[in-house]
Amino acid sequence: MDLATVDIRHLDADDWATFRDIRLRALADAPYAFGSTLSTARHHTEPRWREMLATRTQFLATTDDVGIGTVGLVPEADESGLISMWVAPEARGTGVADLLVLTAVDHAVAAGHHRIRLDVTEGNRAAERLYHRHGFRRTGIRSTVAPDDPRTEFEMLLIL
């Protein structure tokens, strides 16, 4: 894949169906990487998808108008939380993930944020390597993914 053909755009509430489609693909492909589940996401209504896009900044990577990746940022005071990072299997190892992370970092800087935090599910070494490449470091904070999901995740932080 030629990165020159990759377009990254911001999704707004009117892009809810596009976000729904890429999110469902992500949850089906990599359930181990997310705190939410495919079965729950399938039941979200249009207003719920719109609400998610209204409370975050979500980017979509495409090539030839086909979604190949996504990343989101949730503002939290003077920092951002990086969420919903996913790249389609056919685009992995091409630099798309790096483009998405750099887009998120640039957006956080432009928003005046001083830190970006994220959580990585234990064992997701590819994600940890990606974030580490961009300056994120483990903070030592560990938790479970959710009250009903005992998987362990660890926090990573980037100081901007």
Three-point CA angle 71, 76, 79, nearest 5°: 75
User: Each residue of 94-142: pLDDT tens digit?
Assistant: 999 999 999 999 999 999 999 999 999 999 999 999 999 999 999 999 9
The mean pLDDT of the chain is 96
On whether the CB atoms of residues 144 and 151 are closer than 8 A, the answer is yes
Q: Supply the pTM of this predicted model.
A: 0.94
Q: Which two tokens stand for residue 150?
A: 């005992």
pLDDT of residue 130: 98
pLDDT of residue 101: 98
Give the Cα separation of 61 and 66 in Å (integer).
Answer: 8
